[in-house]
Structure 1
Amino acid sequence: MPSSNTHASYGSVAKVFHWLTALLILANIGLGLLATWQADAVQAAGAQPGPEEIARAAWLFSTHKTLGLTVFFVALARIVWALGQTKPGLLNGDHRAEAVLAELVHWLLYGSLVLVPLTGWIDHAATTGFAPIWWPFGQGLPFVPKIPHVAELFATLHYILQWVLIGAIALHVAGAVKHHVIDKDATLRRMLPGHTRGEPTAKQPGHTLPVIGALAVWAVALLGAGYLGWFPSSHDTAPAAQSAQTAPSATEAGQWQVTSGDLNIAIQQMGQEVTGHFSNWTANITYDETPDAEGVHGAVEVSIDTASLSLGSVTDQATGPDFLASGSFPTANYKATLRQNGDRLNADGILTIRSIEIPLSFPVTLDIDGDNATASGETIVDRRAFGIGDSVTDAGSLAFDVVISFDLTAKRAE
């Protein structure tokens, strides 16, 4: 069997691309459905999934994403090959309406084979955490920021375009069956193993009308989704990581008013770093540049709204009953003394999460310029000490260490 196409037959390379793509797509549609069902079961209200269920959902999504990326590159290779090949003509090109529909479906298929995995890839790149792609080239994409709105937008596009693809596949299969069973021509047989020829009709449809039709289908699908309110309404371009500071007493010496800052966490999930932030927290700070006789400069008290955590695609799980349990324990606290320890400043205090108190000390970097100050710090805690994620005992699935970091700017109160 020749490797190249002729005007009446497909070559071996085109056939391999066709059936490989079909196998990958059908497998990935099934995997996507299974992954979604498993994730719904894990995140269902009142569900208390074990590590096996969580790992199964992650494995299904990772496999789905990896196969989707394979479809993307196979599709690109198939398009590049097709551009240099003769395209066998239709066997019913003189049936204008049917021929135009067949070409329109082919344009939908080729476009969707690129758009569906690409939108899914961008959604993954913009999302923090959960179910990595199994390849060595990283999880991000150039020019794709890790912003929840971007991830939600492309997740919606991925969902819409996948149904266009599924519809196009259904029409494509129906057309092949019609040719084989009703018309009894060689349309289907030309794509099967062997060297079957099918002489095309002299009249063939042009490209203009099918291309316009395919664009119209995508436009109707997107406009319809917009009309139904499927697209995210937020237009934020960055996560809202703001500190909420209680106004200090003007009569208390050494008080500082936080003007801005970030409170972040980082975890390791399935060997990949997942970063997040708390958008609602308060910090009451007293600090005097001159320490007392015991080396104490002041104190800090931080109150954190645990429900304000944003941790990418696992936010709901992280704030759920088995982890931070925000419904039962809405606030975490840290109270510490700011003490000079040699040439560095230390925060020595107690961290309280889920009503469990654990001593926590770590160095703080502080820079004061007149009445303005910047501060930052980082420490590591073991989630097991607070009863967080006790059902996940495998550190490979979810590491025990959690990195907590902050940076802030503050102004001396008058």
Structure 2
Amino acid sequence: MPSTNTFSSYGSVTKAFHWLTALLIFTAFPLGYFANELAQAIYDPNVPTTEDDISRAARLFSLHKTVGVAVFFVALARILWALTQTKPGLLNADNKPEAFAAETVHWLLYGSLVLVPLTGWIHHAAAEGFAPILWPFGQNLPLVPKSEHLAEFTASLHWLFVWTLGGSLVLHIAGAVKHHVIDKDSTLRRMLPGSTQSPEPPAQHHSATPAFAALVVWGAVLIGGWGIGAFSHHSRAHTDTAELAEVQSEWQVQEGTLGITISQLGSPVTGSFADWTAAIAFDDPAEPGLAGSANVTISIPSLSLGTVSGQAMGADFFDSAQFPTAQFTADLFKTETGYEARGPLTIRDKSVDVVLPFTLDLQEDTATVSGKLELNRMDFDVGTSQPTEDSLGFTVIVLVDLIATRGE
């Protein structure tokens, strides 16, 4: 069997690409479906989950993403190969409407085979944590920042394009079966492995109209997706929580970040609290000793923690419905080597005395502060259903960076 195409038949390379693509697609679809079903339960804060549930979902997602990346590269190689080859003619070219539909579906398939894995890959690169790709590359992509909004947008695109790919596949398979069973021609047989004698297709001319029709379909899919709210489907429900009231403070925080880093399945996941207040009294003493106080209130529902933001609000974790705020009431000390904030940190219904070392750059009435604190989530009964570090590490790193100015 020749390796290249002719006007009447497909070569062995094209056939290999076709059936390899089919194998990868029909592997990726069930992996993604079952992983998503598990994830729905994991992300639902009202559904208790175990380490086995999370590990199983992560394994399925990792396999799904890994196969998806393979689909992307195989699709690119298949398209490049097709550009160098003679395109076998349609055996039903005389039936203009049917030929037009067949070519439109082929364009949809080729485009979707690139768009589906590409949007999934960008979503993975933009999101924080959970289920790494198993290829030795691709955890991050050039020009793709870690962004929750970008991750949500590309997740919506991926979902829409998956449905487009699925519909195209159904039409493609239905067409092949129709040719084989009803028309009884060689359309399906000439794509089967091995050498198959095929009749000479009728003379025909290929235009750009089916490609344009495929673009119209993709545009309709995007418009329809926007119409049904697909691009807001992945937004976190807790983004509409009430903001904390402002507090009176000797020092006013002008800008600052209160971030955390956890370890999930061995990979760091970073996030931050969008809403927190600090009432700070501070007067730098000449000698080591008490320098002031700080009363920090943190809105738990304002936490953005990548793909696990919703899960973190659940009853087994922060339980934001019952404990919407965390509190750190500290005395500020100047030490021989720097500064420390010492006092009880209350998360959920647990209070633990902690010491937060921080650096201070004081320029007249402007203070720049940076501090780092390591906590053990089990001290606060966070994630007790995961009593080992197999899926969720014990250590939580808290990072504080702020600039404050002294009020009059």
C-alpha contact 2:45 2:311 (8 A) present in aligned 1: no
Q: Deviations 1:251-300 (Å, cap 9, x if unpaired)? A: xxxx21111111000011112111111111111111112257x6111111
C-alpha contact 2:38 2:57 (8 A) present in aligned 1: yes
Equivalent position of 2:53 in the other structure: 53
1:247 and 1:51 map into 2 onto residues whose CA distance is 40
Amino acid at match of 1:285: I
Equivalent position of 2:277 in the other structure: 282
2:314 corresponds to 1:359 = no
Q: Deviations 1:14-58 (Å, cap 9, x if unpaired)? A: 111101111111111111111121112334463211111121112
Equivalent position of 2:148 in the other structure: 148
2:320 corresponds to 1:305 = no
C-alpha contact 2:8 2:201 (8 A) present in aligned 1: no
2:188 and 2:90 map into 1 onto residues whose CA distance is 11
Q: Aligned runs of 1:392-411 on 2, under 5 Å?
A: 392-411=386-405
Equivalent position of 1:94 in the other structure: 94
Equivalent position of 1:252 in the other structure: none
C-alpha contact 1:8 1:89 (8 A) present in aligned 2: yes
Equivalent position of 1:136 in the other structure: 136
C-alpha contact 1:245 1:283 (8 A) present in aligned 2: no
Deviation, structure 1 residue 334: 1.2
Equivalent position of 1:213 in the other structure: 213
1:110 and 1:402 map into 2 onto residues whose CA distance is 45
C-alpha contact 1:301 1:333 (8 A) present in aligned 2: yes
Equivalent position of 2:190 in the other structure: 190
Q: 1:332 to 1:135 in 2, by over 3 A?
A: same
Query: What secondary structure is seen at the aligned counterpart in 1 of 2:232?
Result: coil
1:248 and 1:357 map into 2 onto residues whose CA distance is 24
2:402 and 2:329 map into 1 onto residues whose CA distance is 17
Amino acid at match of 1:158: H
Aligned residues: 403
2:207 and 2:115 map into 1 onto residues whose CA distance is 20
Equivalent position of 2:314 in the other structure: 320
Deviation, structure 1 residue 137: 2.0
Deviation, structure 1 residue 402: 0.6
Q: 1:233 to 1:64 in 2, by over 3 A?
A: closer
* TM-score, length basis structure 2: 0.94
1:339 and 1:44 map into 2 onto residues whose CA distance is 42
Q: Deviations 1:202-248 (Å, cap 9, x if unpaired)? A: 3324131111111111111111122223223999xxx99xx968343
Q: 1:100 to 1:180 in 2, by over 3 A?
A: same
Query: What secondary structure is seen at the aligned counterpart in 2 of 1:273?
Result: strand
Deviation, structure 1 residue 329: 1.4
C-alpha contact 2:44 2:310 (8 A) present in aligned 1: no
Equivalent position of 1:72 in the other structure: 72
After the TM superposition, list the runs of 4 or more consecutive aligned residues in structure 1 that deviate by more than 6 angstroms: none
* TM-score, length basis structure 1: 0.93
**Matching residue within 251, 254, 259 for 1:259:** 254
Equivalent position of 1:329 in the other structure: 323
2:12 corresponds to 1:17 = no
Amino acid at match of 1:286: A
1:404 and 1:34 map into 2 onto residues whose CA distance is 34
Amino acid at match of 1:407: D
Q: Deviations 1:324-346 (Å, cap 9, x if unpaired)? A: 11112111111222212212112
Q: Deviations 1:81-104 (Å, cap 9, x if unpaired)? A: 111112211111121111111111
2:245 and 2:169 map into 1 onto residues whose CA distance is 56
